[in-house]
Amino acid sequence: MPLKSFKSYTKSSRGTILIDRSDLWKGKPYKPLTSVNNSSKGRNNAGRITSRNHGGGHKQKYRNIDFYRKKFDMKGEVERIEYDPNRSCHIMLVKFEDNQKFYYLAPQNIKIGDKIQNGPSSEIKIGNCLPLQDIPVGINIHNVELQPGAGGKIARSAGTSVIISGIDGNYSLIKMSSGEVRKIDSRSMATIGVLSNPDQKNIKIGKAGRSRWLGRRPHTRGVVMNPVDHPHGGGEGKSAGGRHPVSPTGQSAKGLKTRDNKRTDKFIIRRRKKRGK
């Protein structure tokens, strides 16, 4: 979708670049597939802040997306394509032949009135969902399951996709956009196509208020704090921190590996690329 800039009537509008959503559905979401979205605002069940700089934000209804795609062997029609405030890509409302409706993630180049289908008998076509073993090597896919029947977990944000790079016995080799290559059970489901809204990465918020609408609170730099509050704090006058950047808890902010899941290490064929390489 095209980007939209604004005339510089104010300091904020001068730098603002947003997504043009004029082609999307302009009404309210399909009510039976919505639920109340009560944000935790960074608090735990005791009400204490456990995730800093979260809070506020505009009121939103949650759209119940079907990541499982288990409505097999029945054709559905795309009724409308909508904006979803809970994710970066767009979503589509699909009506099946038995009049059941589902929200799915919308891939690029899908249009209102297109027919889609789930299941092993589906053709290789944008929007269709099939097991990995039925998808040819080299096809762009999204909403990929890590385990059969567990629902899509990989490649769900705007403009993303992964590629099947090969077959290894009962496993398919999936190449991520990060460069990581991973083995996934070939019975797992995946959807054909690249996800919509690829220009999401090019938007410029333009003003602090729009960050507040998104639930982002102001972020205080560690170097202006006291030593009791942050490892970068303290020092005479304006100091530069005096050490490599770390989080408030002392964890390195320069790419320290924190993965600790030896159970699934055997499924990773090649690690992701390092930053800046």
| Domains 18-200 and 223-277 belong to one CATH topology | no
With residues binned 3-state (H G I as helix, E B as strand, rest as coil), the percentages for the chain, rounded to 5, are 10, 30, 60
Given a cut of 90, whether residue 34 has pLDDT beyond it is yes
- What pLDDT, on a 0 to 100 scale, did the predictor assign at position 257? 85
* Residue bearing tokens 């938007």: 203
Which CATH class for the 18-200 domain?
A: mainly beta
* Beta bridge partner(s), residue 171: 168, 185
Q: How confident is the model at residue 241 (pLDDT cuts 50, 70, 90)?
A: confident
- What is the mean pLDDT of the segment spanning 225-235? 94
The predicted model gives 101-117 an average pLDDT of: 96
In the numeric block, which tokens belong to residue 10? 């104010």
- 77-91, 131-145, 258-272 — which is least confidently predicted? 258-272
Task: State the pLDDT at residue 1.
Answer: 66
Q: What is the pLDDT of residues 3-22, one digit of tens each?
A: 999 999 999 999 999 999 99
Average pLDDT over residues 123-134: 95
CATH code at 223-277: 4.10.950.10
pLDDT at 196: 96
CA atoms within 13 A on the CB side of 95: 7
| Rounded average pLDDT over 161-166 | 95
Would you kindly state where each structural domain of the chain is located, as residue ranges?
18-200, 223-277
Structure tokens, 4: 């939209």
Does the predicted TM-score (pTM) go above 0.85?
yes
Over 60: is that where the pLDDT of 143 sits? Answer: yes
- Amino acid 59 reads K
Tokens, residue 213: 């609408």
Mean pLDDT rounded to a whole number for the chain: 93
